[in-house]
Amino acid sequence: MLYSIIFIILLIPSLVYAKGEWDYNNVYPKLNDIEYLKKIKPHLFLSYNNEYIETNKPDEEKLKKVLQCWDAIYYAQLKTYDYNHKIQYYMERARIITKYSEKESIESWKKYLYIAVPANDLANKKDIPITAAVMFIPTAIKVLKKYDVSNKKTDSIDDYNYWKENIYNDEVLKKEFDINDNVFKKSK
């Protein structure tokens, strides 16, 4: 018990330092410093910048800078990412963009679905633990459905299966190395 208290007391200054250090205002000027970006914990970065993301009237310029930092952190740490991290990255990316433009978020939601759907299917078949970020599959479908100009009859189609097939047949997504370099096989 005493060791726990001492550990927490020693941890508090580093968390306070990280809070200030990992605010997007401090990270943004260091976007080219790969070694610095590798030290940032992605989920903590978003948590520390939550005040800019979760507001009723978000500032588009601030959100774009947070997103640029998010992208830079992701690419600096890409080699250490497994499929759960990739699912989380694309989900958060799309969610941030949606705050100021659902239409601009389409690409990220598509990439998110491209990774999340097979991971979700595989987890259901083999009882493999995956991130809670797959819970955003209905959100992704809702946004994509709103802007789907190729097939407006999606109301009568099973959304999950329609978008699963639609996403897997997207030639651009099939060529995207980042989302195809996964540790699991797509289930169809």
What pLDDT score was predicted for residue 10? 47
What pLDDT score was predicted for residue 186? 41
**Cβ atoms 182, 115 nearer than 8 A:** yes
What pLDDT score was predicted for residue 109? 92
Kindly report each contact of residues 20-27 with a partner whose C-beta sits within 8 Å and lies 24 or more positions away, as own/partner.
Answer: 22/48, 22/49, 23/48, 23/49, 24/49, 24/52, 24/62, 24/65, 24/66, 24/69, 27/69, 27/72, 27/73
Give the integer Cα–Cα distance in Å for 75 and 70: 9
* pLDDT tens across the length of the chain (188 residues): 555 555 455 444 444 445 567 788 999 999 999 999 999 988 889 888 888 888 778 889 999 999 999 999 999 998 887 777 888 899 999 999 998 888 888 889 999 998 888 878 777 777 666 666 678 888 888 888 887 755 555 554 567 788 888 888 888 888 887 777 654 444 33
HSE-up of 118 (CA within 13 Å, CB side)?
Answer: 18
What pLDDT score was predicted for residue 68? 94
Furthest C-alpha separation in the chain? 63
- Three-class SS state of 54: coil
Give the integer Cα–Cα distance in Å for 25 and 18: 13
**Cβ atoms 120, 130 nearer than 8 A:** yes
- Three-class SS state of 104: helix
Q: What phi and psi, each to the nearest 5 degrees, are found at residue 28? A: -50, -45
Sign of CA dihedral 180, 137, 117, 41: positive
Quote the pTM value. 0.77
Give the integer Cα–Cα distance in Å for 163 and 157: 10
What pLDDT score was predicted for residue 93? 92
What pLDDT score was predicted for residue 142? 85
- Three-class SS state of 148: coil
